Chains A and B, each alone.
Chain A
Amino acid sequence: MTETKWLVDESVIRDFSAANNEPEWLLNARLDAFNKAEDLPLPKPDKTKIDKWNFTQFGAHNVNSTPYASIADLPEKAKVVVGEENTAQNVYVQRNGVPSILNLSAELKEAGVIFTDFATAVKEHSDLVQKYFMTQVVKADEHKLTALHAALVNGGVFLYVPKNVEIKEPVQAVFIQDDKNAAIFNHVIVVAEANSSVTYVENYISTVETEQGVANIITEVIAGDNARVSYGAVDTLAENITVYVNRRGVTAPHAHIEWSLGSMNDGNIVSENVTNLIGDGSYADTKMVVVGSGKQSMNFTTKVVHFGKHTEGYILKHGVMKDEAKAIFNGIGKIEHGASKSNAEQESRILMLSEKARGDANPILLIDEDDVTAGHAASVGRVDPLQLYYLMSRGITKQEAERLVIHGFLAPVVNKLPIENVKKQLKGIIEGKVRQ
């Protein structure tokens, strides 16, 4: 039984929508979802009970933040991820819900690329956004959290890559939470039309601690015929923010989606990452690293569903749990009837650093077709005291020895991340979280 004491009511949604001059279809979608949210159940992530978690209580749906004037004004943590060498050619920075900086190279504009904040997108590209916003990848009425999300979206980006356009440099979005009251309901849509390619990287950064907060984040990736989408995310939200994050993609024939995900939040997390391989010959690859600390409870479901023939799905997840952190890794490879000659592979590993840390890796293969290949590997274990002894016998302190072992444990994933920027960022962030 969930007792939902809403902090918002219809009028908040109407006011917000009006203030942003939203098209009517969006207001209607919001209100419809809001009405359904009350009765819809929470999602049921396998092996984690979330019915006592806070998904509805937060400071404010909308906070007034002054936009950052330039990259130079960003908080240090954000500057680091944007990169000093100012490769910040194509970058969007959002302060709480407020769009702050938006750079898109003239070249890309000319090529017809759209990269803009969610509020602007719904005004300037209403038809396009309407076509994709929670219509085919994620639906508002899946459960309470998707409905809440649709009702309360207050930020995010829209990235549209036209046919045959290949974007070489990564496109980056940086979401900064520096107001402890700010609730995060970001929606990200990435549309890559036929034969296009793009690398998108997003960062979530908290610079403040909060007593109680919510992040409800949904991504929809639509990869057209033979398109290539590489999607990176590094999340570092603060301790008392309950995170629901759903990053999902669909593929047309021969499309590729690659996910490079680093979950370094400090609070409780329900994470869902799904790729629906609809088109024949399409491909999904998810690589994810997680570091848990403190009393975090986390549930990560990574799923690849094969509909098309000759589809390939790969999942590689490694997590390190410190202190009393607890993580469930659910890996699901599902091959539907008719998806012949497909291949589903997954590997999940969790390393626990302390007696009180917990980990559970559940590899699941659901196969409804004969002519396929599939495989899985999973392991959950504690750090080997003999490894620590060996390192320490060379004079390395226990703390440094642990750091090396953690590093080593995550390296097979980190080193293989296809996005250089994410790889670099993660190395530093992992370091920070491990030393915490």
Chain B
Amino acid sequence: MSQSTLTVKDLHVSIDGKEILKGVNLEIKGGEFHAVMGPNGTGKSTLSSAIMGHPKYEVTQGTITLDGEDVLEMEVDERARAGLFLGMQYPSEITGVTNAEFLRSAVNARREEGDEISLMKFIRQMDSNMDILEMDQDMAQRYLNEGFSGGEKKRNEILQLMTIKPKIAILDEIDSGLDIDALKVVSQGINQMRDENFGCLIITHYQRLLDYITPDHVHVMMQGRVVKSGGPELAHRLEAEGYDWIKQELGIEDETVQ
């Protein structure tokens, strides 16, 4: 399997009849790390949800393709099996389903019936990933995200990422709620995924995550669009100067979606 390409073209998305995304264009290839930044309420999570197929978001115009396949035609689980992954800003909690049970279902969903992963092999894999993420072993037997702290939930998203090994991952504010040490650990987990068959879109507000995970491309979203793209230096400038200069440059007064 070679490099994958996720292509978003002129994407318009509404929620409850209100248009949030107003023509997003983006292309992510295997081997590339992209960062998406932008003030609150500018459509970053909406973009990630629309790509994954969140039931509340309606795509009204534009296309999303993965290696030429129409993603919009796929159900959520089909998108995932096609190679997409979304580390969510607010992961759900599911009572009664252990983390391990859930992870194993996710792994087996990608395998043929009768060819399920052996329990031993699965546990070995999970244990070693949990070690890398410095997660307590008993997190495996706890109910999925139930009562997890903010930081634990984020680590758990990365544990899933490492277990599932998607082609293209979107990580929505994976750094929020992480303490300084956890940020390092989680970044390590993500960096370990780096290879030419893995592309990643990182949504973040802060340069400090990008200090660990250097992006190849940085995009800024405002008003439901990507308004500026550049290299890693763009993120540094945002960190130093904020967003005002971009607004001035582009003549934007209110950057949020209206």
Interface on A for B, CB 8 Å cutoff? 384-387, 389-398, 400-401, 404-405, 407-412
Complex contact B94–A398 (CB within 8 A): no
- A390-B91 contact given A396-B105, A397-B109, A409-B96, CB 8 Å threshold: yes
Contact check, B95 vs A408: say whether CB atoms are below 8 A apart.
yes
Q: Let me know if A397 and B95 touch, CB within 8 A.
A: no
Task: Decide: A408 and B77 in contact? CB cutoff 8 A.
Answer: no
B156-172 near A? 1/0 per residue, CB < 8 Å: 00001000100000000
Q: Could you tell me if B96 and A395 are in contact, using CB atoms closer than 8 angstroms?
A: no
- Contact yes or no, A396 B94, CB < 8 A: no
Cα-based distance from A394 to B92 in the complex (angstroms): 12
> When the two chains form their complex, are residues A395 and B75 in contact, meaning their CB atoms are under 8 A apart?
no
Q: Interface residues, chain B, CB within 8 Å of chain A?
A: 52-55, 75-77, 79-81, 85-86, 88, 91-92, 94-97, 101-102, 105-106, 109-110, 143-144, 160, 164
Q: Report the Cα distance A387→B145, complex, angstroms.
A: 11
Contact B80 A392 (CB under 8 A): yes
Chain B minimum-CB-distance residue to A398 = B77
Cβ-defined contact, B164 with A395, below 8 A: yes
CA distance A358 to B54 in the complex (A): 26
**B92 touching A395, Cβ below 8 Å:** no
- Contact residue among B76, B97, B105 (Cβ-Cβ distance under 8 Å from A393): B76
User: Is B97 a contact partner of A386 (Cβ separation < 8 A)?
Assistant: no
A404 touches B55 (CB 8 A): no
Residues of B within 8 A of A392 (CB): 75-77, 80
**Given the complex of chains A and B, what is the CA–CA distance between A389 and B88 in angstroms?**
11
- Contact indicator B92/A404 (Cβ below 8 Å): no
Q: Of A390, A396, A398, A409, which is within 8 A of B95 by CB?
A: A409
The contact of A412 among B75, B77, B94, B95, by CB within 8 Å, is B95
In angstroms, Cα B144 to Cα A407, docked, is 13
Chain B residues near A393: list those with CB within 8 A: 52-53, 76-77, 79-80, 85-86, 88
> Which residues of B are found within 8 Å of A400, using beta-carbon distances?
105, 109
| Complex contact B94–A391 (CB within 8 A) | yes
Count of A-B contacts with CB under 8 A?
80
Inter-chain CA distance A395–B78, complex, in Å, is: 6
Separation of A3 and B95 alpha carbons in the complex (Å): 47
Closest-CB distance, B191 to chain A (whole angstroms)? 22
Q: Which of B75, B86, B91, B102 contacts A404 (CB 8 A)?
A: B102
**Separation in Å of the B71 CB from the closest CB of chain A?**
13
B75 touches A389 (CB 8 A): no
Q: B75 touching A384 by the CB < 8 A rule?
A: no
**Contact A395:B80 (CB < 8 A) given known A389-B54, A404-B102:** yes
A395 close to B109 (CB less than 8 A) = yes
In the complex, chain B residues whose CB is within 8 Å of the CB of A405 = 94, 97
Q: Is the CB of A390 within 8 A of B80?
A: no
Asked whether A387 lies within 8 Å of B94 as measured between CB atoms, the reply is: yes
B110 & A395 in contact (Cβ 8 Å cutoff): yes
What residues of B have a CB within 8 angstroms of the CB of A410 in the complex? 96
Which of chain B's residues have a CB closer than 8 A to the CB of A384? 92
Task: State A401–B81 Cα separation when bound (angstroms).
Answer: 14
Q: How far, in angstroms, from A391 to B102 measured CA to CA in the complex?
A: 8
Name which residue of chain B comes closest to A408, CB basis: B96
Selected A-B contacts with CB under 8 Å, 9 pairs: A391-B102, A393-B52, A393-B85, A393-B88, A405-B97, A408-B96, A408-B144, A409-B95, A411-B97
CB distance from A262 to the nearest CB of B (A): 16
Contact B55 A389 (CB under 8 A): yes
Residues of B within 8 A of A401 (CB): 77
Which of A385, A396, A407 lies at the interface centre, i.e. has the most chain B CB atoms within 10 A of its CB?
A396
Per the bound structure, the CA–CA distance linking A398 and B53 in Å amounts to 13
Chain A proximity of B189: nearest CB distance (Å): 17
B106–A395 CB distance below 8 A: yes
Q: Is the CB of B77 within 8 A of A404?
A: no
| A-side contacts of B80, CB under 8 Å | 392-396
Instruction: Other than A393-B52, A394-B160, A412-B96, give 5 A-B pairs with Cβ distance below 8 A.
Output: A386-B92, A389-B55, A389-B92, A404-B101, A411-B95
**In the complex, chain A residues whose CB is within 8 Å of the CB of B54:** 389
Min CB gap A316→B, angstroms: 13
Cα–Cα distance between A295 and B221 once the two chains are bound (Å): 51
Complex Cα spacing A396 to B105, Å: 7
Contacts of A412 in B (CB 8 A): 95-96
Contacts A390-B88, A395-B81; is A407 near B96 (CB within 8 Å)? yes
The CA of A388 and the CA of B106, in the complex, are separated in Å by 13
Q: How far is the CB of A99 from chain B (nearest CB, A)?
A: 40
C-alpha spacing A391/B53, complex, angstroms: 12
